[in-house]
Amino acid sequence: MKIHEYQGKVLFQKYGINTPKGIPAFSIKESTEAFKTLDTSPVVVKAQIHAGGRGKGGGVKLARTFQEVEKLANDILGMKLITPQTGTHGKEVQRLYIESGADIDQEFYAAITLDRNKEKDVFMVSTEGGVEIEKVAEETPEKIIKIWVDPLLGIKRFQASQLAYGLGLKNDAFKEAVSIFLKMYNCYLSTDASLLEVNPLVKTKDDHIVALDAKFNFDSNALFRQNEILKMRDLSEEDPYEVEASNFNLNYIKLDGNVGCMVNGAGLAMATMDIIKLAGGEPANFLDVGGTANAETVKNGFRIILADDNVKAVLINIFGGIVRCDRVANGVVQAVKELGLKVPVVVRLEGTNAKEAQVILKESGVSIIPAIGMKDAAERVVAAAINNGDK
Amino acid sequence: MSILIDKNSRVVVQGITGSEGQFHSEQMMEYGTNIVAGVTPGKGGLKTLDNTIPVFNLVSEAVEQKKANTSIIFVPPPFAADAIIESALAGIGVIVCITEGVPVRDMIQAKEIVKKNNSTLIGPNCPGVITIDECKLGIMPGFICEKGNIGVISKSGTLTYEAIDQLVNVGLGQTTAIGIGGDPVIGTTMKDCLALFEKDTDTEGVVVIGEIGGQMEIEAAQWAQQNMSKPIVGFIAGQTAPPGRRMGHAGAIVSGGDDTAEAKMRILEECGITVAKSVADIGELMKNIMNTK
């Protein structure tokens, strides 16, 4: 789960990490009021969307006067902000953050994330702040300083010092950086974050260390114990069908293809998408119905897949382990009867009670295309999609 | 021979009185698994499963009184890592955690404890381990398997079943099948499993099923190139997965580097592994290799 920068800064303030003063704004009026309340100049008007690279797309601008804030708010609110991370469609800006400008002396990069290979959190800093860290990692990897945190010990003070030394900091700025790195790790740990990135983290001209950005990702598996974070979820940043699917415990991701698919198990679902592509089609979605595929899940899955007009045929691929194929077959029949068959449906059922399932599908009278094995299923559904698309 | 578990494994089920624990304990016993005890905190002293299996409050009691040496965990996500740590500290040798949705923070700690206590953890978020006709420690449908000479390693549950089904259809049985789990941090890696199969005298070939995200497949392939004498057929799911999206499994996400399906397939091939481009070819490819041996 992601949150906005202004929400991240609320967390930073809670954990004692310095940030400039700022106020979120949902309208032009709120933006100018924020400017008045902050009572400082310049301010930065920042688009709040769940994607990085906002500055490049024209979503972060400096303003010195009431009128400038008003004009920028008018320009940015409602715009489709396109950044390297949003894709070509861009994202509509619905929220702004009006923040006091900072007197910057030096810009740094700081981030904490899980290193999957080492199975430890890695804390990275770099003197190359304000630019794309991927580029730094590729071109001048020696400019990224890393420490790994022992999961049983947590971060130690000497490690935070190592990071601050690495940035070449001295005296008060050094002490403040050490303290901020320790607080950053505490914040990361306490919120079950999977990524905490500050780019840039700056040293101001009066020797303070201040976070000018706050990017968070959170471990979805830990949200059950993170009520404060869960309240920050902004559903308007997510695909509405993906949100609806998650309400039914379905794991759905929308793609751009013409062949819908409904599968039990994430690995098999990915492999089904892949084999649709190999057979000459394009998958329209990822959909894992999980370990409890019944009439209700099948029906909801169908509805969500078919809401996408690009879908010209649907493949249902179930390998019954604990899930019984006869139950799935009954679910398919019931769903088709209730929702009607708008597109051809190919069904492949294997595993527990597969034979009984074939009989149910055959005797139901609904016109489902049965398939045996994944190759056969993929070829049939792609042929059906092409046939249907030509109509 | 087989790896990790066999008919002599003495199994304690953590979370035995829950609905998942009850259902799968019955299924496992039906398959022949030697379940000697269950654990549910607060329900010690009960007997469950038709009054045959004693329930304890603690894993250590099951170890002391019933000589349990293997555990399987059906405990909800908030308590799963605690259950793993309890087992490791009680001296359990092989721990299988089925639970999906364990916070990664909990897992990196639990894994450290497992390592320090020289236990082996399989999972979490996995279908478990099955040694054909001897012991099932998990939720997979045992009836689809046949005893034979192929080892199976997979990050995915239903894709494991798919591979087993294809192997059976081409006349190849299995020694042991391991679902290692789809989370970013898991107890036993692909490389660990390959090493176990390499040592197992009954296993003659191995199927490895990976997916996008992380470096585990690459690490395993590079190790295999240096150390593995037995042939491997590999498959990587997620060739069509969009970058930056989590594909069901918590660990299945393309986030940069060589963690795409394309990169992994290329590196596996470079390391001498026979890579199935289509999931439907896994069985046939293994059959061809076995026939020409």
Q: Given CB atoms, is B243 within the 8 Å cutoff of chain A?
A: no
Taking contacts as CB-CB distances below 8 angstroms, the residues of chain B near A288 are 248
Assigned token pair, B195:
């090493």
> Would the pLDDT of B278 be above 80?
yes
Which residues between 180 and 219 in chain B have a beta carbon less than 8 angstroms from any beta carbon of chain A? 182, 184-185, 209, 211-215, 219
Task: Show the tokens assigned to B21.
Answer: 């624990």
DSSP characters for chain B? --SS--TT--EEEETTTSHHHHHHHHHHHHHT--EEEEE-TT-TT-EETTTTEEEESSHHHHHHHH---EEEE---HHHHHHHHHHHHHTT-SEEEE--S---HHHHHHHHHHHHHTT-EEE-SSS-EEEETTTEEEESS-GGG--EEEEEEEES-HHHHHHHHHHHHHTT--EEEEEE--SSSS-SS-HHHHHHHHHH-TT--EEEEEEESSSSHHHHHHHHHHHH--S-EEEEEE-TTPPTT-B-SSTT-B--SSS-SHHHHHHHHHHTT-EE-SSGGGHHHHHHHHHHT-
Encoded tokens for A354 = 């597969």
Entry pTM: 0.92
- Single out the residue of B162, B289, B41, B35 nearest to residue A268, CA to CA: B162
The whole-number pLDDT of residue A292 equals 67
- Report d(CA A238, CA B274) in Å as an integer: 39
Mutate to test the interface with A, among B85, B98, B105 (most CBs of A within 10 A): B105
How far apart are alpha carbons B145 and B178 in whole angstroms? 12
Among A268, A325, A379, A382, pick the best mutation site for testing chain B contact (most B Cβ within 10 A): A268
Active site residue A107: no
Interface test with B, best of A319, A328, A374 (most B CBs within 10 A): A319
> Judging by DSSP bridges, how do beta strands A22-25 and A96-100 pair with one another?
antiparallel
Distance CA B225, CA B272 (A): 7
The pLDDT of residue B3 is 85
> Inter-chain contact B108–A121, Cβ cutoff 8 Å?
yes
Question: Within an 8 Å CB–CB cutoff, is residue A122 touching chain B?
Answer: no
Query: Which residues, including other chains, have CB under 8 Å from residue B258's CB and lie 6 or more apart?
Result: B215, B218, B264, B267
Q: Examine the pLDDT at B256 and tell me if it is beyond 80.
A: no
Contact B16, B66 (CB under 8 A): no
Beta strands A104-115 and A193-204: pairing type?
Answer: antiparallel
Dig out the tokens for B13 from the structure.
């089920």
Please choose, from the candidates B40, B235, B2, the residue with its C-alpha nearest in 3D space to the C-alpha of residue B136.
B2
Instruction: Determine whether A134 is exposed, middle or buried from the number of CB atoms within 10 Å of its CB (0-12, 13-18, 19+).
Output: exposed
Pairwise CA distance, residues A144 & A300, whole Å:
47
Q: Confirm or reject contact between A79 and chain B (CB < 8 A).
A: no
Residue A391: predicted pLDDT: 61
A388's CB contacts (< 8 A; 6+ apart) are A312, A313, A343, A344
**Which of the residues B136, B155, B230, B249 is marked catalytic?**
B249
Domains defined for chain B, CATH in brackets: 11-122 (3.40.50.720), 141-291 (3.40.50.261)
- Identify the residue with better confidence: B244 or B33: B33
- CA-nearest residue to B241 within chain A is A270
Distance (Å, rounded) from C-alpha B190 to C-alpha B210?
A: 9
Cα–Cα distance measured from residue A15 to residue A274, given in angstroms and rounded to the nearest whole number:
44
Does A221 contact B101 at a Cβ distance shorter than 8 Å? yes
Number of Cβ atoms within 10 Å of the Cβ of A26: 12
ipTM score above 0.95: no
- Distance between CA atoms of residues B130 and B179, nearest Å: 9
Residues of B in contact with A224 (CB under 8 A): 77-78
User: Is residue A365 within 8 angstroms of chain B, CB to CB?
Assistant: no
Nearest residue in B to A291, CA atom: B158
CB contact under 8 A, A221 and B248: no
* Whether the Cβ atoms of residue A285 and residue A305 lie closer than 8 Å to each other: yes
Using alpha carbons, select from A187, A30, A69, A59 the residue that is nearest to residue A123.
A187
Dihedral sign, Cα of residue B221, residue B223, residue B225, residue B231: negative
Collapse the DSSP code of A40 into the 3-class scheme (helix H, G, I; strand E, B; otherwise coil) and give the result.
Answer: coil
Residue B237: which of A121, A264, A271 has the nearest Cβ? A271
Could you give the CA distance from residue A266 to residue B183 in angstroms, rounded to a whole number? 12
Please tell me if residue B58 touches chain A, with a CB cutoff of 8 Å: no
Tokens 């199994």 identify what position?
B11
Residue B174 corresponds to which tokens in the numbers above? 């299995």
Cβ-defined contact of B248 to A351 (cutoff 8 Å): no
**What 3-state class would DSSP assign to A217?**
strand
For B241, the closest of A151, A225, A270 (CB atoms) is A270
For residue A326, give every residue at least 6 positions away whose Cβ sits within 8 Å of its Cβ, in sequence order, or none. Answer: A353, A356, A357, A360
**Token pair belonging to B53:** 């299996």
- E strand or H helix that includes residue A273: helix A266-278
> What residues have CB less than 8 Å from B142, skipping those under 6 apart?
B27, B31, B130, B136
Of A99, A128, A176, A197, which residue is the catalytic one?
A: A197
B234 touches chain A (CB under 8 A): no
Both structure tokens of B87: 């087992």
| Contacts with A168 (C-beta within 8 Å, 6 or more apart), sequence order | A127
Among the partner residues B143, B157, B240, nearest to A273 by beta-carbon distance: B240
Q: What is the pLDDT along chain A (391 residues), one digit of tens a residue?
A: 999 999 999 999 999 999 999 999 999 999 999 999 999 999 999 999 998 889 888 999 999 999 999 999 999 999 999 988 887 888 999 999 999 999 999 999 999 999 999 999 999 999 998 777 878 888 888 899 999 999 999 999 999 999 999 999 999 999 999 999 999 999 999 999 999 999 999 999 999 999 999 999 999 999 999 999 999 999 999 888 999 998 888 999 999 999 999 999 999 999 999 999 999 999 999 999 886 667 788 888 989 999 999 999 999 999 987 778 888 888 888 888 888 888 999 999 998 888 899 899 989 888 889 999 999 999 999 999 999 986 6
Do the chains contact at B185 and A119, CB–CB below 8 Å? Answer: yes
Split at pLDDT 50, 70, 90, the class of B160 is: very high
Asked if residue B1 has pLDDT above 70, the reply is: no
Catalytic residue among A6, A97, A109, A241: A109
Residue A71: both structure tokens together: 């004009």
